[in-house]
Amino acid sequence: MPFRIALSGLNAASADLRVIGNNVANASTTGYKKSRAEFADIFASSSLGTAANAIGAGVRISSVSQQFTQGNVGFTDNNLDLAVSGSGFFVLNDNGVQVYTRAGSMSVDNAGFVVNNQGQQLTAFLADSSGNISNGNSGPLQLDTTDIAPQPTSAVTMGLNLDASDAVPVPPVPTSVVTLAGAGQALDTTVSPVTTNLGNILDSYGSTPSASEIVWTDAGGGVWNAQFRVGGADQGAAVPVTIGTTATVSFAWDPDGGGAQPSQTITMDTTSLTEVSGTGTTLTGSNNGSLQAPFSSSDASTFNSSTALTVYDSQGTAHLATYYFRKTGTPNNWEMYSFVNSTQVDGPDTVTFATNGTISAINGNGAPFTQTIPGFVPTGTTAPSTMNIVNTLTGLTQYGSAFSVNTLSQDGFATGRLRGVDIADTGVVTARFTNGQSRTLGQVALASFPNTQGLRQLGDTSWGETFESGSAVISQPGTGSLGLIESGALEGSNVDLTEQLVGMITAQRNFQANAQVITTADTVTQTIINIR
């Protein structure tokens, strides 16, 4: 009988060594979970029960249990490498059969499916075309490697501050004499017409006369005649002005613009005037407006501020949209000009602000403060690329601070190709494209079981569902008892080598002790045989 008991001990110690040896062998296996040999004693029994003085019949292995404790997480350079921080298993599709693993070494196969090293496909909750994820729509996660179609710009959103302290743009009048080949030569000089403003010219009764202007006429010999007009009619005689002298010129009119009551004197310093040969342009002015030059996108002195962004047509071709803003003589009013590829496509649009600096109207219309650029074909493109853009200007302000761009965005983009994949800790998979866009593809699914000890080991660090484990409960990471996902990381084996080596020594001693029992029993048997 001692032989049988000792033999059971040898078998148990041998099994313990095999379990420990397997743990040691898989100390570096990704996602491996160590096992532990559990033993039970053996007693002879009968229908009447076990006697109180029963000695026992040895030992047996009652179970080899798996220890699903967390392994160490190491980081990698592959975003598709996944680790579960907490409880849960990745769900894999193995030719229609679901298997479960903690090893998250993933890659992409030639069809774009995310698979593990055995070619089993990773299961996820899939997103629809709008990026919405539903628990009821699960399947293999696939990365679409085809180019995404371009989206034409249809909306631009602006958040700008226009400086309330800016002055109305008044550029200097350019004149010049050019010397060619060393010989002085007078060239025709063209002065661009500008709108001048004499301010609110009031007569002694406080009324505002009709529109006024000063017309300069060359009288020859360095003398120019200055004629003051109100409402298109000359007011008095022209006043001769000699270039290079200082003159005080007086004009007079009555309250209704037709009388002769003197009330206004205009003084002009003519010492800085220079006469050159060429064709002149009459400068006109209105007494009910502002001195303001005609707008020109190429002349920064004719506008106050500008900003630009890239927009896209239906073919995905990029175009530069530039918006110019200039202050007008009307309080709290600005003009906005819209250009695409240096071609004006809209404007001027009048933007009106309230006294507190917030926008109050566009072209006289209130909220929602949108301005539409009607259909146009950008320069250098064909009819299929016609664009229609709605500019939302709700964020425009007029405060007493420098011009600033707070927000400036548009909804178009060019065609794009898959650049990379990001996976959040909640398992949401987002694809990044070369055009700066991103799309939600799905959410990695995790499974939990009522009894993980009941899972059946399938090899390749994967498990299968059994009756003892119960049915898998599949849900999103971070919900219920499920852990979170770490992207660019792998969970290592949870084997502690020090612990296993100590266990190995213990198993070895157990084996030696049981072998000694056999030796002792053999000696006793030999003694009995040798009795005469």
163 touches 405 (CB < 8 A): no
Q: How far is CA 221 from CA 4, 224, 242, in A?
A: 140, 9, 9
Could you report how far apart the first and last alpha carbons of the chain are, in Å? 23
Which of 320, 399, 313 lies closest to 355 in space, CA to CA? 399
Considering the domain 155-167+304-410 in this protein, what is its CATH number? 2.60.98.20
CA distances from 298 to 295, 325, 343, 376 (A): 9, 13, 11, 22
Tokens representing 86?
A: 């907490």
- Rounded Cα gap, residues 280 and 283, in angstroms: 9
**Residue 441 in contact with residue 431, Cβ under 8 Å?**
yes
Angstrom distance (rounded) from CA 464 to CA 455:
6
Strand boundaries in 270-369, DSSP class E: 284-285, 305-312, 318-327, 333-340, 343-353, 359-362
- What is the crossing angle of helices 497-529 and 2-25, to 10°? 160
Q: What is the pLDDT of residues 251-295, one digit of tens each?
A: 555 544 444 444 455 555 555 555 555 544 343 344 444 456 788
Question: How many of the other CB atoms lie within 10 Å of CB of 487?
Answer: 22
Per-residue pLDDT tens digits of the chain, which is 532 residues long: 677 888 888 888 888 999 999 999 999 999 999 999 888 877 766 555 555 666 777 888 888 888 999 999 999 999 999 999 999 999 999 998 999 999 999 999 999 999 999 999 999 999 998 889 988 889 999 998 788 889 989 899 999 999 999 998 875 555 444 443 444 434 343 433 333 444 444 443 344 445 667 777 777 777 777 777 766 777 677 777 776 666 555 555 554 444 444 445 555 555 555 555 554 434 334 444 445 678 899 999 899 999 999 998 888 888 899 999 999 989 999 999 999 888 888 889 999 999 999 999 988 888 777 777 766 666 555 554 667 888 888 899 999 999 999 999 999 999 999 999 999 999 999 999 998 889 999 999 999 999 999 999 999 999 999 999 999 999 999 998 999 999 999 999 999 999 999 999 998 888 888 888 888 877 888 888 887 6
Length of the chain: 532
Going 408 to 413 to 417 to 421, the CA torsion angle's sign is positive
Helix, strand, coil in percent for the chain, rounding step 5: 10, 40, 45
Bridge-partner residues for 138, per DSSP?
A: 125
pLDDT confidence of residue 386: 67
Domain ranges of the chain: 2-69+494-529, 73-129+441-491, 155-167+304-410, 186-285
Question: Residue 188, Cβ neighbours under 10 Å: how many?
Answer: 9
Matching residue, tokens 């049988």: 4
Residues 413-431 have pLDDT tens digits of 999 999 999 999 999 999 9
pLDDT at residue 249, rounded to an integer: 56
pTM: 0.65
Residue type, 350: T
Q: Beta-carbon neighbour count of residue 81 at 10 Å? A: 22
CA angle 422, 425, 431 (to 5 degrees): 20
Residue 171: per-residue pLDDT = 56
Contacts of residue 48, Cβ cutoff 8 Å, sequence gap at least 6: none
